[in-house]
Structure 1
Amino acid sequence: MTLFDPPAPLAERLRPRTVAEVVGQTHLLGPGRPLTRVLQSGRLGSLILWGPPGVGKTTLARLVAGEVGAHFIALSAVSAGVKDVREAVTEAERLRARGTRTILFLDEIHRFNKAQQDALLPHVESGLLTLIGATTENPSFEVNPALRSRARTLVLEALTQEDIKGLLERALSDERGLPGVSVEPEALDLLARLADGDARRALSTLEVAATLADPVTPEAVTEAFGRHLPAMDKNGEDFYNLISALHKSVRGSHVDASLYWLARMIEGGADTGYVARRVVRMASEDIGLADPQALRLAIAARDSVEFLGSPEGDLALAQAVVYLALAPKSNSVYNAWGDALRAVREGESLPVPVHLRNAPTALMRAQGYGKGYAYYFDDPEGSFEQLYLPEGVQLDLYAPTGEGWEARMAERWRKLREAHGEARAEAKEEPSGS
């Protein structure tokens, strides 16, 4: 072994050699569990392994191929293309003539575009290739329906802290790992926690920490780990789950949770401009007229983010999120707007009442446009008596809540409704607009 021929990384050296050595995933590999039954039957169909990084997707694919005695071809969708798929097909055809089946493992299958995924379809459907795809993204969004229908999706879970701790202890005792290296119990616990369920991250950090201190201390683990950034795919499901958690925490008036999810997004590298736009949306959707000031503050936070950038603008976002979480809540305008859109989309396109029409020309005025319109400031009573909706249309869209500013406006809203309601009743006897 020389400087130019270094040993394989610890995570690779400790890769399980049998299914029994796999850590975690007992919901798939325990007695009577789905993958166990498949391996026992020997009838393996195409699979999509969906789970976070470092939970053993590649390892499981290799072990499955070994268990069923299949030839294993591994490709990464990051670098492979249709040409590589064709070469795999050619190899599979040659091996089938010898009675050997082929498993094509496609790592990060979500990075294959539609055309590339479609190139796999006929060979998966014919059984020439048994596909095992691995992805950290939700297959419902990232894998073509046609391909998804021909493969069974198995969900892999993040490893627990106990799983990670057991794996680290194995690394310290296994001859393939780091025998002779000692680790303080507190350091082991810290590493298991910081790994976020990712076995590869845990083992890689342990390997670095072992070069920094003997025995390995919590300080060495922290140094080896570097800055701990929460896992988040900025364009994937994790990102939208965090946005959803932030929005729902604000809506539920949980200030601490709102700040926590915002911090997770910012530390994970989220686009603060996008987050700011979503915060503006929260102000309209969930606070609305219960506190009209909320929208102003949210827009000010958006402007601060645009003007200052990160990290200076992040504080303005935090201020807005705390304000929105504390604010009284109302979705009355959100609901009223949705009902208004449905009324327009599902109803007839009735003409605007003549007295409400614009009359900028003499010809339009001659046709009666604007005739009979009661200008509120000249004739308040007449203003309430005239119709404001198309003839025969009655709508009940807006209903204020008992929260904040809306609660104070509810009585005025009630009186306005009564005034216009009386006008509608009179209009049935003597229609307006002539």
Structure 2
Amino acid sequence: MTVFQEPAPLFPNPTNPLPNPKAPLAFQLAPKTINEFQGQSHLMGVGKPLRNILEQKQLTSLILWGPPGCGKTSYARLVANHLDCHVDMINAVTANIAIMKQCIEQAKQRQKSTLLFIDEIHRFSKTQQDALLPSVESGLITLLGATTENPYFSVISGLVSRCQIVEFKPLSKLSLTKIYDNALDKIKKNNPVKIDPKIKDIVIGECRGDARKLVNYVDIIKNQAIKTKNITLDSIQALLQNQGKSLRKDDHYDLISAFIKSMRGSDPDATVYWLSRLLDSGEDPRFIARRLVIFASEDIGTADPHALPLATAVQQAATTIGLPEIEINLSHVAIFLATAPKSNATYEALKKAKSTIKQGNFHDIPNHLRDSHYKGAKKEGFGQQYQYPHDDPKGIIKQDYLPQKHTFYTPKSIGYEKIIQDRIRWINNYIQKEDR
């Protein structure tokens, strides 16, 4: 479609709801009213936030976060149909800064509010996302972004802080059943056909909460209906199998979970297998790289100091090297992390420290640790009794860094943490000798 075409084809005019039997099935099934929308009862039920936006016609900037086929784009259609505003649609995969600037410039000239829907907003670079900030902040643009990735990682903090983050869930079996029944009614209206009722359970089970996948399956049934008036379970199962991996992708969350747990379990073969499955399913290499960076600190930490630099290196590579070459880098780092010594000591230390603070242990900063480099600091005695560790031949001086003793970090007897254990023991012994 043309990016700024009005009315945009993505958003059919609600005043002209006559169905087009030749339109794609997905377009025919798209909800035109609030009551036709399936799923997300926690957001679209009576009195719930997204329903209130439609009924009260008061839109705020939103980022819709959820797996494929859960209704994010369908909700955007409803917003465009219910609110009196101009609608521009951008897909982050194909759009660039020039297109965004054109949209923003036209919004300035227009005498009505502008809704900018950005599909796959996580695909925008930081520079592209930064370009949106001034217009969103000023209210010139109302942003409606859709993403399958956690926006707290994939969208810049400036946009996240100016938008409401709304999480969509995979569709329930009940919602998928309603969509399936509606789709079959449309098929039978134009093609009187007998369909084995057992097909419904098979198709819905394969969808795993994804309405787009469901529509793809029903499209197969529709095409089969043109050839035969009796659609059996065996014939559909054979057709579905011929669709291959594109119709049988594993669940995003289950795959990444298996991948992480295999690395944590130090199984390099399982790790590279699940990595391959992730890549084979079309997972974004940048998402995989981010998970490797998190894993390096959470599950290895100081047990192997090389883990985090390698993980951050592959994250940088993921932004500059495309497929298929980046797969080699991911395999390299994933296998290294899988075979590295494991320790969550640094992660546990952080949790213990945060827990201590939550319990109300807000210690005053000792005067000798305070900043002494500003006017008036010396008068207050700040930093005056601080002892500089490098003045000691060993670089260790006994002084208090906390008013009350706490032990948060406990290294394990594995990998480099063995060396850290010995180092901590030596430091403690050296300080005790100073006391004597």
- Normalising by the smaller structure, the TM-score range is 0.5 to 0.7
- Residue matched to 1:26: 41
1:31-430, aligned counterparts within 5 Å?
A: 31-96=46-111, 100-174=112-186, 180-212=192-224, 214-215=231-232, 217-224=236-243, 226=245, 228-232=248-252, 242=256, 246-247=259-260, 264-269=274-279, 285=300, 349-350=389-390
Contact 1:247 1:282 in 2 (8 A): no
1:125, distance to aligned residue in structure 2 (A): 3.3
Q: Over residues 85-110 of structure 1, what are the superposed CA-to-partner deviations in whole Å (9 max), with x where a residue is unaligned? A: 333334434541xxx43322121222
- Partner-residue secondary structure (3-state), 1:217: helix
- Partner-residue secondary structure (3-state), 2:64: strand
Distance 1:242 1:225 in 2: 21
Contact 1:81 1:116 in 2 (8 A): yes
Change (3 A) 1:392 1:12: same
Change (3 A) 1:348 1:118: same
1:121, distance to aligned residue in structure 2 (A): 3.1
1:27, distance to aligned residue in structure 2 (A): 1.1
Change (3 A) 1:174 1:391: closer
- Partner-residue secondary structure (3-state), 2:81: helix
Count residues in correspondence.
335
Change (3 A) 1:390 1:167: same
Distance 1:65 1:23 in 2: 17
Distance 1:130 1:274 in 2: 31
- Partner-residue secondary structure (3-state), 1:192: helix
Change (3 A) 1:116 1:36: same
Distance 2:387 2:276 in 1: 44
- Partner-residue secondary structure (3-state), 1:166: helix
Q: Over residues 15-54 of structure 1, what are the superposed CA-to-partner deviations in whole Å (9 max), with x where a residue is unaligned? A: 1111211111111110110011222222212222111112
Change (3 A) 1:284 1:72: closer
Contact 1:172 1:182 in 2 (8 A): no
Distance 1:217 1:51 in 2: 29
Change (3 A) 1:57 1:283: closer
Q: Over residues 119-158 of structure 1, what are the superposed CA-to-partner deviations in whole Å (9 max), with x where a residue is unaligned? A: 3333333333322111122222222333333322221111
Contact 1:14 1:176 in 2 (8 A): no
1:248, distance to aligned residue in structure 2 (A): 5.2
Distance 1:75 1:254 in 2: 43
Change (3 A) 1:261 1:28: farther
- Partner-residue secondary structure (3-state), 1:154: strand
Change (3 A) 1:350 1:110: same
Distance 1:94 1:282 in 2: 49
Distance 2:277 2:34 in 1: 36
Distance 1:399 1:129 in 2: 50
Distance 2:410 2:192 in 1: 72
- Partner-residue secondary structure (3-state), 1:174: helix
Change (3 A) 1:133 1:250: closer
> Which one is further off, 11-20 or 176-185?
176-185
Distance 1:173 1:54 in 2: 21
- Partner-residue secondary structure (3-state), 2:276: helix
Contact 1:205 1:225 in 2 (8 A): no
- Partner-residue secondary structure (3-state), 2:171: coil
Task: Report the RMSD for the aligned CA atoms in angstroms.
Answer: 5.3
Contact 1:9 1:204 in 2 (8 A): no
> Which one is further off, 113-122 or 135-144?
113-122
1:172, distance to aligned residue in structure 2 (A): 0.3
Change (3 A) 1:179 1:89: farther
Contact 2:389 2:397 in 1 (8 A): no
- Residue matched to 1:306: none
Q: Over residues 50-72 of structure 1, what are the superposed CA-to-partner deviations in whole Å (9 max), with x where a residue is unaligned? A: 11112222221121121123222
1:349, distance to aligned residue in structure 2 (A): 4.3
Distance 1:211 1:217 in 2: 11
- Partner-residue secondary structure (3-state), 1:211: helix
Change (3 A) 1:150 1:225: same
Contact 1:164 1:197 in 2 (8 A): yes
Point out where structure 2 has 5 or more consecutive residues left out of the alignment.
Answer: 1-20, 305-326, 350-385, 401-406
Change (3 A) 1:9 1:137: same
- Partner-residue secondary structure (3-state), 2:162: coil
Contact 2:262 2:270 in 1 (8 A): no
- Residue matched to 1:342: none
Question: Which of the pair has more CA radius of gyration?
Answer: 1
Change (3 A) 1:83 1:177: farther
- Partner-residue secondary structure (3-state), 2:243: helix
| TM-score where L is the length of structure 2 | 0.58
1:426, distance to aligned residue in structure 2 (A): 8.0
Distance 1:176 1:80 in 2: 39
Contact 1:53 1:136 in 2 (8 A): yes
